[in-house]
């Protein structure tokens, strides 16, 4: 158990809908990362927050947004869902700083039907 | 743009054999990570390599880093079935961002 908690574990929803994925980082970690894993694209970095502020942005669609709250948990919002958004979404956390190791949660498997 | 390439992408080997997975990356970085993923599961951190020449070993796995060649290797010694998984290398993008850029992964199957 990495200490990073993601909910829900599984999510099935229809096209056009909106969902929210939640992540609680390890105790003491200030950085939260979101990744999307699909068969064709592999592991794609979406976005990183550090202590409540956006730190880096990757291949995140405009339909997707995220935030990190004062208690350091993070939410990834996915809207106007398409079939191609079906994937495993991982959250990872790290202490932050230069020499940092990221620990991954169990992931949320999103299926869009 | 930082690119990370792993090879091979698929590796089928017999128990008891040795093999090496290679990870090349395109820009300067001195921090490299190896992760293991079982099907449908999370990524488990295996090794953190933080400097040129770093070598780390855990059981039948040994990882090394050559920052000058921009190359890391994951060596498997006397493979056993339990090592069957997908192995990813990931590199920190130097220059401020702490995000990890992952290779496509090497799917390892160890056959009895």
* Banded model confidence at residue B99, pLDDT cuts 50, 70, 90: confident
| Beta bridge partners of residue A74, listed in sequence order | A23, A68
Closest CA–CA distance from residue B77 to any residue of chain A (Å):
25
Please identify which residue in the block is written with the tokens 């970095």: A45
pLDDT of B112 > 70? The answer is yes
CA dist., res. B16 & res. B106, Å (int): 19
* Preceding omega of A30 cis (within 30 degrees of 0): no
Nearest-CB residue to A104 (from B43, B48, B92): B43
B-chain residue closest to A56, CA distance: B97
Banded pLDDT at A36 (limits 50, 70, 90):
very high
Tell me the per-residue pLDDT of B8-21, one tens digit each, with 9 for 90 and over: 999 999 999 999 99
Residues of chain A above pLDDT 90, percent: 80
Residues B28-82 pLDDT 10s: 776 899 999 998 899 999 999 988 888 999 999 999 999 899 999 999 999 999 9
3-state secondary structure of A91: strand
Confidence at residue B31, expressed as pLDDT on a 0 to 100 scale: 83
A45 and B104 in contact by Cβ < 8 A?
no
Q: Which residues of A touch B97 (CB under 8 A)?
A: 48, 55-56
A30 and B96 in contact (C-beta within 8 Å)? no
Using pLDDT thresholds of 50, 70 and 90, give the confidence band for residue A83: very high
pLDDT for the residue numbered B63:
97
Q: What is the pLDDT of residue A61?
A: 94
């Amino acid at each position: 158990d990495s200490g990073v908690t993601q909910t829900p574990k599984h999510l099935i929803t229809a096209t056009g809908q909106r969902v929210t994925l939640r992540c609680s980082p390890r105790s003491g970690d200030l950085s939260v990362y979101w990744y999307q894993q699909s068969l064709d694209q592999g592991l794609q970095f979406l976005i990183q927050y550090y202590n409540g502020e956006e730190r880096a942005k990757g291949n995140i669609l405009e339909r997707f947004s995220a935030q990190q709250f004062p208690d350091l948990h993070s939410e990834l919002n996915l809207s106007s869902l398409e079939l191609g958004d079906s994937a495993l979404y991982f959250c990872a956390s790290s202490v932050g700083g230069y020499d940092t190791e990221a620990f991954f949660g169990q992931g949320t498997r999103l299926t869009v039907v | 743009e930082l690119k990370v390439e792993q090879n091979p992408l698929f590796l089928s080997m017999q128990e008891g054999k040795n093999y090496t997975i290679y990870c090349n990356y395109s820009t300067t970085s001195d921090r490299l990570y190896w992760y293991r993923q079982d099907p449908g599961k999370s990524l488990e951190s295996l090794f953190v390599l933080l400097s040129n020449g770093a070598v780390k070993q855990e059981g039948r796995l040994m990882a090394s880093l050559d920052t000058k060649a921009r190359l890391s290797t994951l060596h498997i010694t006397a493979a056993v079935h339990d090592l069957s998984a997908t192995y990813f290398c990931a590199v920190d993008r130097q220059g401020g961002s702490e995000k990890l850029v992952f290779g496509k992964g090497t799917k390892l199957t160890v056959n009895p």
